[in-house]
Structure 1
């Protein structure tokens, strides 16, 4: 029947809250914002992080990571060119998860931890895809 919902009224009220959509976008990219600022404030450590994961030239990868984390996050937060910002963050996340969570080369507890982190990052990429879809549909409507 049209007009009915299986969503309880209190939940629907929360989902209708006007600040939920911006708060969710901010929460989704919060780790990238923090990471980008930390890398920017301690650039030598950012270079060392990239080198640790075998990404060379490390300084170039560090600059790219900072730019993507900060610019991509801002685009998602301000709800403009979300497809671009979220897409860039998704690609960065894919590179990071392949470099840092290579569970297929591990065993024991290290494999367990890397496998979990790998799929957590995959879920984050899915969240970035979803925020892009929602933003695009809202603009189309």
Structure 2
């Protein structure tokens, strides 16, 4: 039984999904780049290894890879990389298991937000970018 067919809208939905998944990364990647010294300081405060290198990686992954996802270029491999990156940043940046009170609640919310975003990237890696993309797949 067919309950709802969205097949004719698939490519448009995939474009919207790519934009919605990537907008967070592009915006925060841009902020990290524009306030680079603050980004390095934040990386050091959360115990990221080699804070300056970690900040450079964060800018590239979030800003550059985010823009490439929007364009639909190298979508499947970048979606997989962003899925791994998103879980890694959840573990490093939102360790709610070591906190209490409101800090724990906020970190837990952000941790599971990242896990959910990872799910979106895994779906994108599986489905591909659609025909409204540079990959056209």
Both structures adopt the same fold (TM-score exceeding 0.5) = yes
Say whether the 8 Å CA contact 1:22–1:77 is kept in structure 2: yes
Runs of 4+ in 1 over 4 A off after TM superposition: 136-139
- 1:1-141 equivalences in 2 (<5 Å): 5-7=2-4, 12=6, 16=9, 18-135=11-128
TM-aligned CA distance change 1:107 to 1:131, over 3 Å: same
3-state DSSP of counterpart to 2:128: helix
Larger Rg: 1 or 2? 1
Q: Number of residues paired by the alignment?
A: 133
CA RMSD after TM alignment = 2.5
3-state DSSP of counterpart to 1:6: coil
Q: Which has the higher contact order (CA 8 A, sep 6+)?
A: 2
Gaps of 5+ in 2: none
CA deviation string 1:28-69 (max 9, x = no partner):
110100111111112111111211211131110000111111
1:66 and 1:40 map into 2 onto residues whose CA distance is 6
3-state DSSP of counterpart to 1:55: coil
3-state DSSP of counterpart to 1:80: coil
